[in-house]
Amino acid sequence: MSEAVAIDAKSIVQFCRFAREQGLSVGVQKTLLGLRAAAVLGAPASEDFKSGLRTALCSNQEEWESFDGIFDAFWHEAGSGHAKRQAERRSARATDHNPQSSGSLMSGVIGSEESEPGGSQEIAGASARERLRKADFSTLRQDDLSALEEIALRLLRQMSLRLSRRRRIANLRGRVDLRRTIRSSISRGGEPIDLRYQDRRPRPPRLVILLDISGSMSAYSLFLVRFAYALQKYFQRVDTFLFSTSLVDVTRILHSRRLPAALQALSQIAAGWSGGTKIGGSLAELNRLHGRKLHSGDTLFIILSDGWDTGSPELLAAELAAVKRRVRKLIWLNPLLGLAEYRPLTQGMSAALPHVDVFAAAHNLESLLQLERHL
């Protein structure tokens, strides 16, 4: 194969930079690994060279599958080294890598109605931040979305960190620590008189989230997805489901992709559904097919829905009770609680309430952040 770009250390480093711009997580360590791999493989411009770089620079399936395209784009730009020059120009500018905002992705879900004339134009500034925190998700405008996105992610990550710190501080006595007991027993002639205990190792709990994506709930649910995504770092396992008339397991989507790509995939799924909501039916499906996820250990269950159910309230109550039996805490988030006049009078909602531990709103960023004390 003819190569447009000479293969030397410099071009490999530029390739790594190019790869990073295309979304691969290639840092200094991986770049060095790539250089060493190329050195060992010797033979330039062969399939092995490509395989070697791919092995050194990728870290997961998505990067692996996109690597070929990136490799060809850089090394085989028709005789002009075009991509290489692009990379050179970009490195000269040394810009920060801006995470691609997914603000535009939400617009498909949120209606494009004109916002109230009172909406202010400036995004920066503490008062604007306050406004964004309190703004109901379904009323957000296009430009606000990206700003809110940034704020939300930052705050949610901080929440995640606080939660993990909280766990570490809690000190409970656990099992007897045999090793330390024996050591102290040596001076007691072998009798384990002083018992030493192990600090109980705090195990991060699991989280199961069910998001209603029918009709108006869609906007709120897609925002709560960020919540789920950010909390992945803290919880042992976050299982996320979307539901409307039935249940869809989207956990893998959240695991494996960067947030913008995940949100795009999810909004496509959400767009495909219509018709009434079957909360009871979806819960039944959850219990039947995914019961194992609820069973294991310390599980926290969150459901976001306005409680409008086209199925029978008895089914809803029964299935919710079944879930309640298996989890540590059941949190129901209802965006309508954000409205001052709301009372949970619908059949579905009132059937569900007796089984709910925490009934809270989730209509804006502020209410999401307040969930922290329940987690």
Partner 1 sequence: MSFPTPSGDGVQSVDAVVAGFETLGYIADRSLATAVYLATKLRKPILVEGHAGLGKTEVAKVLAAFLKTKLIRLQCYEGLDVSSAVYEWNYQKQLLAIKIQERSQQTVEEKERHVFSREFLLERPLLQSILIEDSSPVLLIDEIDRADEAFEAFLLELLSDFQISIPELGTVQARHVPYVVLTSNRSRELGDALKRRCLYQWIEYPSLEKEMRIVRARLPGIEETLAAQVVRYVQSVRQLHLSKTPGTAETLDCAQALTVLGRQQLDAMTAEETLGCISKSVEDTAKIRAAGLEHLLSSTPEA
Binding residues vs partner 1 (CB under 8 A) = 25, 27, 29-30, 33, 36-37, 40-41, 47-48, 51-52, 54-56, 58-61, 64-65, 178-179, 182-183, 185-187, 189-190, 201, 203-204, 232, 236-237, 255-256, 289
The residue among 171 and 187 lying less far from partner 1, judged by its C-beta, is 187
The residue among 36 and 295 lying less far from partner 1, judged by its C-beta, is 36
The residue among 51 and 370 lying less far from partner 1, judged by its C-beta, is 51
Beta strand 247-249 with 237-243: parallel, antiparallel or unpaired? antiparallel
Cβ distance 252 to 265 under 8 Å?
A: no
DSSP 137: G
Minimum Å distance from CB 350 to partner 1? 34
Q: What span, in angstroms and rounded, lies between the C-alpha atoms of 17 and 24?
A: 9
The residue among 48 and 194 lying less far from partner 1, judged by its C-beta, is 48
The residue among 242 and 317 lying less far from partner 1, judged by its C-beta, is 242
Minimum Å distance from CB 80 to partner 1? 29
Minimum Å distance from CB 256 to partner 1? 7
Minimum Å distance from CB 314 to partner 1? 26
The residue among 51 and 246 lying less far from partner 1, judged by its C-beta, is 51
Which residues are CB-contacts of 228 (< 8 A; sequence separation ≥ 6)?
Answer: 207, 209, 238, 240, 254
Tell me phi and psi for residue 290, to 5 degrees: -125, 25
Minimum Å distance from CB 190 to partner 1? 4
The residue among 215 and 260 lying less far from partner 1, judged by its C-beta, is 260
Cβ distance 337 to 368 under 8 Å?
A: no
Place of tokens 């692009």: 86
Beta strands in 283-355 (DSSP E): 299-304, 329-333
Q: What span, in angstroms and rounded, lies between the C-alpha atoms of 192 and 372?
A: 43
The residue among 52 and 313 lying less far from partner 1, judged by its C-beta, is 52
Facing residues of 239 across strands? 208
Facing residues of 332 across strands? 303, 359
Checking phi first, is residue 221 left (phi over 0); if not, alpha (psi -120 to 50) or beta? alpha
Q: What span, in angstroms and rounded, lies between the C-alpha atoms of 343 and 307?
A: 12
Minimum Å distance from CB 192 to partner 1? 8
The residue among 57 and 333 lying less far from partner 1, judged by its C-beta, is 57
Q: What span, in angstroms and rounded, lies between the C-alpha atoms of 305 and 283?
A: 12
Neighbouring C-beta atoms of residue 218, cutoff 10 Å: 25
Minimum Å distance from CB 182 to partner 1? 6
Minimum Å distance from CB 266 to partner 1? 17
Q: Encode burial over 20-57: b for 16+ CB neighbours within 10 A, e otherwise.
A: bbbbbebeeebbebbbebbeebeeeeeeebbebbbebb
